[in-house]
């Protein structure tokens, strides 16, 4: 549940009391904390599901500790200047810590300066800022995953399918003709996933030929449009759709269905995220696999870090924290593994 207003609206009020002031008091035990979050786009499937998990962990933590945890989630609606203003509001409202899903991952300067001036720690997540920016103040953190890992796993899934199912090589030329559906330009997960998935297929002994690519910004509807165009251009030459995420893989499938192409003639479609809808498509055979982007693990890690920063500040007790970064591993899920797969949850938190 994400609100659009710039001024704080309580999206999730887990407690009855609002706090004043930022940061824990040494003299008095902390009774309530306030966490402000801004997401780049509330309609992004993966980020939305991560926020649902975050709220669930916050409720759980509140029950365990007896400390009231207020979580407020803002939607930056794709505007960095809106997000910068939201940070001002969160600070005015007394947030102890701020979690930022940057709109423009190359432009965190205003947020960092505002937070430092007010001594409010910032946890960036999912959209990775460059190392130099993360090093600009000692109260900046990042929670996410290693983009290249997901690319390698996606490439392995495609290579395994190509070796095991000869019908995927429709024209029997021994070459996997593919197209790529890419996420946003400049996002670490677009650039790196594409590069590593293709290189991994090659390393696994698959000859590949790129027919084309299109940018669909993580978005299912955009991917459907782009897939329609590529189907027009390349038709049944397409043997593989490498999508940078599940929503775009599903958009490609929407296009195949809308054009009444029988499932037996579809190209192999592979994605990343393991969202609920993505996993379902792997289970029902529409996708050959996906790579689980551990939204529960990332949400739990972010909550633990935010809670610690707002209470005793003893972040060294968080064992997954490496320097100022927490990265959760991806999990490869082939069609065979999808049925039995359950998300790892928040082990260790
Ligand atoms: C990626 C994820 C995409 C999208 C993007 C937004 O990690 O795989 O589906 O959510 O983050 O930044």
Q: Are residue 70 and residue 194 in the same domain, yes or no?
A: no
Per-residue pLDDT, averaged over 269-298, amounts to 97
Lowest model confidence (mean pLDDT) among 74-78, 261-265, 289-293, 316-320: 316-320
Q: Are residue 300 and residue 170 in the same domain, yes or no?
A: no
Angle between helices 188-203 and 147-164 (to 10 degrees): 40
Q: What is the pLDDT of residues 131-152, one digit of tens each?
A: 999 999 999 999 999 999 999 9
Q: Is 102 in the pocket of ligand 1 (CB under 6 A)?
A: no
Q: Is 47 in the pocket of ligand 1 (CB under 6 A)?
A: yes
Q: Is 126 in the pocket of ligand 1 (CB under 6 A)?
A: yes
- What total number of domains does the chain contain? 2
Residue 194 CA to residue 151 CA, distance in Å, equals: 6
Q: Is 220 in the pocket of ligand 1 (CB under 6 A)?
A: no
Which tokens in the block code for residue 162?
């190509």
At 344 the pLDDT is: 81
Q: Is 273 in the pocket of ligand 1 (CB under 6 A)?
A: yes
At 343 the pLDDT is: 84
At 17 the pLDDT is: 32
CATH of the domain at 322: 3.40.50.2300
Which residue's CA is the nearest one to ligand 1's atom 1? 189
- Is residue 337 in a domain? no
DSSP state of 3: B
Q: Are residue 189 and residue 287 in the same domain, yes or no?
A: yes
User: Across-strand partners of 331?
Assistant: 292
At 261 the pLDDT is: 97
Q: Are residue 264 and residue 195 in the same domain, yes or no?
A: yes
- Cα 46 to ligand 1 centroid, rounded to whole Å: 6
Q: If we measure between CA atoms, which residue out of 211, 210, 214, 212 comes closest to residue 185? A: 214
- Cα 167 to ligand 1 centroid, rounded to whole Å: 31
Q: Is 154 in the pocket of ligand 1 (CB under 6 A)?
A: no
Q: End-to-end alpha-carbon separation of the chain, Å?
A: 24
Which tokens in the block code for residue 37?
């979050």
**Phi, psi angles (nearest 5°) of residue 123:** -110, 110
Residues of the domain holding 42: 32-145+294-328
- Cα 268 to ligand 1 centroid, rounded to whole Å: 21
Lowest model confidence (mean pLDDT) among 9-18, 82-91, 330-339: 9-18
Q: Are residue 140 and residue 43 in the same domain, yes or no?
A: yes
Q: Is the pLDDT of residue 126 over 50?
A: yes
User: Given ligand 1 and candidates 217, 245, 279, 295, which is best to mutate, with the most ligand atoms within 8 Å of its CB?
Assistant: 245
Q: Are residue 133 and residue 66 in the same domain, yes or no?
A: yes
Q: Is the pLDDT of residue 18 over 50?
A: no
Q: What is the pLDDT of residues 33-78, one digit of tens each?
A: 999 999 999 999 999 999 999 999 999 999 999 999 999 999 999 9
Residue 277 CA to residue 345 CA, distance in Å, equals: 18
Q: With bands split at pLDDT 50, 70 and 90, how would you rate the model's confidence at 5? A: very low
- Is residue 168 in a domain? yes
> What percentage of residues in the chain have a pLDDT greater than 70?
91
Q: If we measure between CA atoms, which residue out of 24, 42, 57 comes closest to residue 343? A: 57
Q: Are residue 190 and residue 245 in the same domain, yes or no?
A: yes
- Is residue 218 in a domain? yes
Q: What is the pLDDT of residues 223-247, one digit of tens each?
A: 999 999 999 999 999 999 999 999 9
At 323 the pLDDT is: 95
**CA of 145, closest atom in ligand 1:** 7
Residue for token pair 């054009």: 259
Q: What is the pLDDT of residues 210-223, one digit of tens each?
A: 999 999 999 999 99
Q: Is the pLDDT of residue 208 over 60?
A: yes
Q: Are residue 101 and residue 91 in the same domain, yes or no?
A: yes
């Amino acid at each position: 549940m994400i609100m659009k207003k710039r001024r704080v609206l309580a999206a999730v009020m887990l407690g009855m009391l609002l706090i004043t002031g930022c940061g824990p008091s040494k003299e008095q035990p902390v009774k309530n904390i306030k966490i402000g979050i801004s997401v780049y786009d509330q309609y992004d499937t993966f980020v939305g599901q991560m926020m649902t998990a975050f709220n669930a962990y916050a409720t759980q933590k509140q029950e365990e500790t007896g400390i009231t945890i207020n979580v407020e989630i803002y939607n930056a609606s794709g505007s960095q200047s809106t997000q910068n203003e939201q940070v001002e509001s969160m600070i005015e409202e007394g947030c102890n810590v701020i979690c930022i899903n940057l709109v423009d991952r190359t432009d965190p300067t205003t947020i960092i300066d505002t937070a430092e001036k007010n001594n409010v720690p910032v946890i960036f997540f999912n959209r990775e800022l460059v190392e130099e920016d993360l090093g600009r103040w000692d109260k900046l953190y990042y929670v996410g995953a290693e983009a290249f890992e997901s690319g390698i796993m996606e490439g392995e899934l495609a290579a395994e399918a190509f070796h095991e199912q000869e019908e995927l090589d429709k024209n029997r030329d021994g070459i996997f003709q593919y197209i790529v559906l890419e996420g946003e330009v400049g996002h670490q997960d677009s650039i790196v996933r594409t590069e590593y998935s293709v290189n991994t297929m090659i390393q696994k002994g698959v000859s590949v030929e790129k027919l084309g690519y299109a940018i669909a910004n993580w978005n299912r509807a955009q991917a459907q449009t782009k897939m329609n165009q590529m189907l027009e251009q390349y038709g049944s030459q397409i043997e593989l759709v490498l999508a940078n995420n599940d929503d775009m893989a599903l958009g490609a499938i929407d296009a195949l269905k809308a054009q009444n192409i029988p499932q037996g003639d579809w190209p192999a479609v592979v994605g990343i995220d393991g969202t609920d809808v993505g996993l379902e498509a792997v289970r029902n055979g529409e996708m050959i696999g996906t790579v689980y982007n551990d939204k529960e693990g990332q949400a739990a890690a972010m909550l633990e870090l935010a809670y610690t920063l707002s209470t005793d500040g003893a972040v060294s007790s968080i064992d997954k924290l490496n320097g100022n970064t927490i990265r959760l591993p991806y999990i490869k899920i082939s069609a065979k593994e999808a049925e039995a797969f359950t998300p790892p949850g928040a082990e260790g938190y």
